[in-house]
Structure 1
């Protein structure tokens, strides 16, 4: 008989079983943390917008609106919302906060 090298069916089944067990353990863990990830992403985006508001105040000596930040090149993109879809707004004092109105209404 020839010496054939390769994986047997049993070895392949064991590898697939191990991979399946790892997926069963990790997928629910990742999905349970998605709300925390969205919250942290929104906080980071709001801090970035606050920094751009400060830069606008230094450059133009005034408190901007979201539209002024976008048209002035301080913010890229068209949506003034967190990654999870929560809209943000800038108060008259220049404070960035989550919008009290829902987007699209």
Structure 2
């Protein structure tokens, strides 16, 4: 009998099975955390826009619109970083999230 080093087909199949099971377990968790990260990013964006509204209000003594904030370069975008939600400013200067289809 020759002393050949290497893997048998059965050993390779077992390794592939273990890797497949690990991927099946981890992929849904990664997708769930990605959605959670996008929500946290949107919450941070709303807080940032709220701070810019207050800054504009202190400087100009009036509540701005999103377009005024954008043209005066207080903000660069009017929507959350993931692109699924827009923000709006009500008549009292409160910033809220609006879901766009």
TM-score of the alignment, normalized to the shorter chain, above 0.5: yes
- 3-state SS, counterpart of residue 33 of structure 1: helix
Which residue matches 2:76?
76
Listed one character per residue, the Cα deviations across residues 55-88 of structure 1 (whole Å, up to 9, x for unaligned) are: 11111111000000000010013xx111241111
Gaps of 5+ in 2: 1-11
CA RMSD of aligned residues (A): 3.0
Q: How many residues align?
A: 99
Structure 1 contact 53–63 (Cα < 8 Å) conserved: yes
TM-score norm. by structure 2 comes to 0.70
Which residue matches 1:59?
59
Which residue matches 1:34?
34
Deviation at 1:19, TM superposition (A): 6.0
Kindly indicate which of the two structures has a greater share of residues assigned to strand. Answer: 2
